[in-house]
């Protein structure tokens, strides 16, 4: 289980994330991937995991889980997903059926490649973007550090690296670890 600080950090980040980012999915992900991503998300923060934890941990985990459910409901239905995607293009991070959500302050999140300035930095940043889309966060971190070494004065890349560090810290285990039982 994640610590209270990690949960609070994750909850704060969720307020600035699209449903795709919450579930760690690329925007064109098929329904099967949405279901699998939500399953992984639920295993991490489902309120049942926090039954014996401190009440404050359970409350924060429940809030995170609610946003994941909201994301899953919007992305698993083709009609609501299309409406959400349209709203997302207008800067709305949340979908609320029957009413138009207030636009977000951020219209569109720039890719790391778009943020990078120098050609070699752009190459590393593109790799980082691809690793993030594949949920390979540690490899994304390495690629982003390499991009910053090429664009050492790029504060936007540094901010995104800090956000990536917070995301990695909020994950209870490395996402590349296979926890399935092994046959004997």
Query: How high is the mean pLDDT of the chain?
Result: 83
- As given in the structure block, the two tokens for residue 19 are 């449903």
Does residue 177 lie within any of the structural domains?
A: no
Between 183 and 87, name the one with better pLDDT.
87
Query: Can you give the CATH number for the domain in which 60 is found?
Result: 1.10.287.110
- 21 and 68: one domain? yes
27, 68, 73, 134, 156 from 23: Cα distances, Å: 10, 7, 12, 12, 24
Does residue 106 lie within any of the structural domains?
A: no
Does residue 180 lie within any of the structural domains?
A: no
pLDDT in tens, 100-136: 444 444 456 788 998 999 999 999 999 998 988 888 8
Percent of the chain with pLDDT over 70: 85
- As given in the structure block, the two tokens for residue 58 are 């359970």
pLDDT in tens, 14-54: 888 899 999 999 988 899 999 999 999 999 889 888 787 78
pLDDT band at 1 (very low <50, low <70, confident <90, very high): low
Does residue 179 lie within any of the structural domains?
A: no
Distance (Å, whole) CA 84 – CA 94 = 7
- 79 and 30: one domain? yes
Most confident option among 140-144, 162-166, 169-173? 140-144
- The pLDDT assigned to 173 comes to 53
Between 7 and 118, name the one with better pLDDT.
118
Query: Which of 48-52, 69-73, 140-144 bottoms out in mean pLDDT, i.e. has the lowest?
Result: 48-52
pTM: 0.53
Longest dimension (CA), the chain: 54
Distance (Å, whole) CA 133 – CA 128 = 9
The angle at the Cα of 179, spanning 174 to 181, to the nearest 5 degrees, equals: 165
Give the DSSP H/E element, type plus range, for residue 139. Answer: helix 137-150
The residue among 89, 123, 148 that closes a domain is 89
Mean pLDDT, rounded, for 148-177? 80
pLDDT band at 178 (very low <50, low <70, confident <90, very high): very low
- 62 and 129: one domain? no
- Closest by Cα among 165, 130, 169 to 145: 165
Contact 181/162 with Cβ under 8 angstroms?
no
Domain region containing 150: 112-170
- The pLDDT assigned to 57 comes to 80
- Closest by Cα among 109, 164, 157, 156 to 132: 164
- The pLDDT assigned to 166 comes to 86
Give the DSSP H/E element, type plus range, for residue 68. Answer: helix 55-76
Does residue 12 lie within any of the structural domains?
A: yes
**Total count of domains within the chain:** 2
């Amino acid at each position: 289980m994640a610590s209270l600080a990690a949960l609070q950090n994750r909850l704060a980040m969720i307020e600035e994330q699209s449903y795709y980012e919450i579930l760690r999915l690329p925007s064109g992900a098929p329904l099967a991937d949405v279901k699998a991503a939500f399953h992984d998300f639920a295993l991490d923060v489902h309120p049942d995991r926090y039954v014996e934890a401190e009440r404050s941990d359970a409350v924060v985990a429940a809030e995170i889980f609610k946003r994941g459910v909201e994301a899953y409901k919007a992305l698993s239905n083709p009609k609501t997903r299309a409406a959400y995607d349209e709203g997302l293009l207008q800067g709305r991070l949340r979908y609320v059926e029957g009413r138009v959500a207030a636009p977000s302050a951020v219209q569109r999140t720039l890719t790391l490649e778009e943020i990078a300035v120098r050609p070699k930095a752009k190459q590393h940043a593109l790799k980082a973007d691809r690793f993030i889309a594949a949920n390979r966060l540690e490899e994304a971190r390495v690629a982003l550090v390499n991009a910053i070494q090429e664009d050492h004065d790029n504060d936007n890349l540094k901010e995104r690296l800090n956000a990536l560090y917070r995301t990695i810290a909020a994950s209870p285990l490395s996402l590349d670890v296979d926890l399935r039982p092994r046959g004997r």
